[in-house]
Amino acid sequence: MSWALTPLTEEQLGIQRVARDFALREIAPYSAAWDRDAYFEPALVGKLGALGFLGMMIPEIYDGLGLDALTYLVALEEIASVDASVAVMLSVHNSLPTQMVLRWGSDAQKERYLKPMARGEQLGVFALSEPEAGSDAASLRCQAVRDGDEWVLTGTKAWVSGGAHAGVILAMARTDSPGDRRGARGISTFIVTPDMPGFGVGKKEDKMGLRASATVQLVFDGLRVPAANLLGEEGMGFIYAMQSLDNGRLGIAAQAVGIAESALRHAAAYAAERRQFGKPIKEFEGIQFKLADMATRVAASRALLHAAASAKDRGEHMTQFSAMAKLLASETAMWVATQAIQIFGGYGYVTDYPVERLFRDAKVTEIYEGTSEIQRIVIARELYSR
Ligand SMILES: Cc1cc2nc3c(=O)[nH]c(=O)nc-3n(C[C@H](O)[C@H](O)[C@H](O)COP(=O)(O)OP(=O)(O)OC[C@H]3O[C@@H](n4cnc5c(N)ncnc54)[C@H](O)[C@@H]3O)c2cc1C
């Protein structure tokens, strides 16, 4: 059951089926336990890699599948409808580090880092945020100082999804000096690996939702990064990060659509089974109106997401579309999950049914890769910039 409006090709439908089957077989039976125990299953990386799901938009010459964004996002929706924690790992890896190395990396960097990420041998993560720099990411403080053929990085990166299991970390740090601050133009991006001297994993966050995704601080204590691991041009790292978030936000929108779809599906099924006053509760108009509004918002979110993905695939500027898709889908996920709990009544409030997890997982989609307030700022700014 899926309320897709965009006609999908046979290939897209095929990949959607592969994603759904994998999620139902390899993830669904364990999701509740992973959530309860806040357990990240490392074996998933290899399994998803074997299917090509960690190189979905990487060209075949770099060992990826070379698919378009729409196909990738359709697959991501399916995984998210079963487990949002697995979906965020896929979303970050496919939308951010891999795309950054593909777009701005040197040939040597692509050979050394992109190929293993595409094959699923190494998980890629994105380290922009810091404890004091969230929405105002350009205020980050992690400092990089050049020392011969190396950069020495000192600082703490916060909230890194998958950071404890990463093979490749795309990290932003200041390359301007304290006496010559250049704002966003003083930030560069580095390709960091956990074997570099000075790398450490710090506090693991104890989260409300998305508990099977390990979110950690990364501590760079005089981390020594070879100069060859600077990505692209010095001073352009913040621009790269912002441009990459246009892709990332589509991934989070797909995650949110998957969560919302799942909440709708569970609520519709429960409303058909649960009887009160001598009939299934789906026969009450009050419940029908809720389900109708839920289905309408899910369909609208998916339609906007697919339109934004298609714009990206046509190579169009999609900063505004991507922010709109993320804003609508994440607020829809939160709203639909809330309605689903209402339809379940008391049973929605306990862990016997999956809707309380969907509710907890939905919330973060309104926060990361730019809060809803930041998406509105981006959308409004774009109204005047073109
Ligand atoms: C589970 C999880 C995973 C994450 N994964 C990653 C990751 O992999 N990599 C990474 O780099 N980061 C990651 N993040 C960080 C995430 O992107 C930030 O939490 C987010 O950008 C918000 O920053 P903040 O939490 O510091 O909130 P703040 O920026 O402190 O915001 C607090 C509140 O103020 C509002 N606000 C701030 N500025 C404005 C403004 N100008 N106008 C109106 N309202 C404003 C915000 O919208 C919010 O409501 C993750 C976060 C979480 C919770």
Chain segment 37-87, per-residue pLDDT in tens: 999 999 999 999 999 999 999 999 999 999 999 999 999 999 999 999 999
Structure tokens that stand for 363 in this block = 């919330």
Atom 32 of ligand 1, nearest CA residue: 135
Is pLDDT above 90 for 176? yes
Q: How far is 379 from 333, CA to CA, in rounded Å?
A: 20
Ligand 1 mean position, distance from CA 271 (Å): 36
Ligand 1 mean position, distance from CA 158 (Å): 10
Averaged pLDDT of the chain: 97
Which atom belonging to ligand 1 lies closest to the Cα atom of 213?
1
- Cβ proximity of 36 and 351 under 8 Å: yes
Q: How far is 332 from 239, CA to CA, in rounded Å?
A: 29
- Cβ proximity of 45 and 54 under 8 Å: yes
The pTM for the full model equals: 0.97
Q: How far is 99 from 48, CA to CA, in rounded Å?
A: 18
Ligand 1 mean position, distance from CA 131 (Å): 10
Q: Give the pocket of ligand 1 (CB within 6 Å).
A: 92, 126-129, 134-135, 159-161, 207, 210, 215, 364, 367-371, 373-374
Burial class from Cβ neighbours inside 10 Å (0-12, 13-18, 19+) for residue 300 reads middle
HSE on the CB side for 3, CA within 13 Å?
A: 21
- Cβ proximity of 330 and 369 under 8 Å: no
Give residue 376's identity as a one-letter amino acid code.
R
Is pLDDT above 90 for 4? no
Candidate from 207, 371, 376 with most ligand 1 atoms within 8 A of CB, to mutate: 371
Candidate from 368, 369, 375, 378 with most ligand 1 atoms within 8 A of CB, to mutate: 368
369 belongs to the catalytic site = yes
Q: How far is 334 from 297, CA to CA, in rounded Å?
A: 11
Query: In the prediction, which pLDDT does 125 show?
Result: 98
Ligand 1 mean position, distance from CA 368 (Å): 6
Atom 16 of ligand 1, nearest CA residue: 368
Q: How far is 323 from 340, CA to CA, in rounded Å?
A: 25
Helices (H), the chain: 10-22, 31-37, 43-50, 69-82, 84-95, 97-104, 107-109, 115-119, 237-273, 285-313, 319-344, 355-364, 372-385
Ligand 1 mean position, distance from CA 337 (Å): 21
User: Taking Cα atoms as reference points, which of 122, 162, 158, 125 lies closest to residue 41?
Assistant: 162
Cβ neighbours for 47, distance < 8 A, ≥ 6 positions apart: 22, 26
Atom 38 of ligand 1, nearest CA residue: 135
Is pLDDT above 90 for 229? yes
Reported as a pLDDT band with limits 50, 70 and 90, residue 172 is very high
- Cβ proximity of 142 and 173 under 8 Å: yes
Catalytic residue among 26, 261, 331, 369: 369
Reported as a pLDDT band with limits 50, 70 and 90, residue 5 is low
Give the lowest-confidence range in 94-98, 330-334, 353-357, 382-386: 382-386
Ligand 1 mean position, distance from CA 330 (Å): 14
Over the stretch 266-282, which tens digit does the pLDDT of each residue have?
999 999 999 999 999 99
Per-residue pLDDT, averaged over 10-17, amounts to 96
Per-residue pLDDT, averaged over 139-161, amounts to 98
Reported as a pLDDT band with limits 50, 70 and 90, residue 1 is very low
- Cβ proximity of 51 and 20 under 8 Å: no
Helices (H), 83-191: 84-95, 97-104, 107-109, 115-119
What SS3 class is residue 225? strand
Q: How far is 163 from 170, CA to CA, in rounded Å?
A: 10
Candidate from 90, 159, 206 with most ligand 1 atoms within 8 A of CB, to mutate: 159
Per-residue pLDDT, averaged over 348-371, amounts to 98
Which atom belonging to ligand 1 lies closest to the Cα atom of 129?
11
Query: In the prediction, which pLDDT does 372 show?
Result: 98
Residue 26: count other Cβ atoms within 10 Å of its Cβ. 18
User: Taking Cα atoms as reference points, which of 114, 108, 227, 128 lies closest to residue 172?
Assistant: 128
Strand partners, 188: 173
Per-residue pLDDT, averaged over 130-151, amounts to 98
Query: In the prediction, which pLDDT does 7 show?
Result: 84
